[in-house]
Structure 1
Amino acid sequence: MALFKKRTAGKPGEWFYCLEHKKVEEGPECPAKDRFGPYASREEAGNAMETARRRNLQWENDPRWHDAPGGGTDGDEEG
């Protein structure tokens, strides 16, 4: 007996954004590797790319994700 059943159809009310087809889908229609989600609403899924862009920008500018100022890793720069 399998521990997990492979879901072949999505649940109503689960929204995804397909990266390959660039469209919103109710329930996962495309493979997981090609989609963002699930989202609570169609509108939220429709804004998936903008949400990802904003989050990427926040992470790029978050000092907790950088080892040292100026791009160095240990402060000992040769030159």
Structure 2
Amino acid sequence: MAEPTQYWYNTKTHEVEEGMVSPAIDRAGPYATRDEAEHALAQIKANSEKWAAEEAAEDN
């Protein structure tokens, strides 16, 4: 049985890649769909903001 296709967002070229095409340092993912990979930067930003708020709450 074949492995499901994984999509990666290349942070250097800003392109979605099917499979592990680029070096790991330039990739975000994996994502299950091309659409998820296309929105990787927004999700990364949202996660960072959420974690920063949680950390700030813990510090108070």
Q: TM-score, normalised by structure 2?
A: 0.84
Number of equivalences: 57
Q: 1:68 maps to which residue?
A: 59
Gaps (5+ residues) in structure 2?
none
Q: 1:44 maps to which residue?
A: 36
Q: Pairwise CA RMSD of aligned residues?
A: 1.6
Rg comparison, structure with higher value: 1
Where has structure 1 moved over 6 Å in runs of 4 or more?
Answer: none
Gaps (5+ residues) in structure 1?
1-10, 70-79
* In 2: Cα distance, 1:35 partner to 1:26 partner: 11
* In 2: Cα distance, 1:29 partner to 1:20 partner: 12
Normalized per residue, the structure richer in helix is 2
* In 1: Cα distance, 2:15 partner to 2:51 partner: 25
Q: TM-score, normalised by structure 1?
A: 0.65
Higher relative contact order (CA 8 A, sep 6+): 2
Residue 12 (structure 1) shift: 6.0
Normalized per residue, the structure richer in strand is 2
Instruction: Give the percent of matched residue pairs that are identical in Structure 1 and Structure 2.
Output: 33
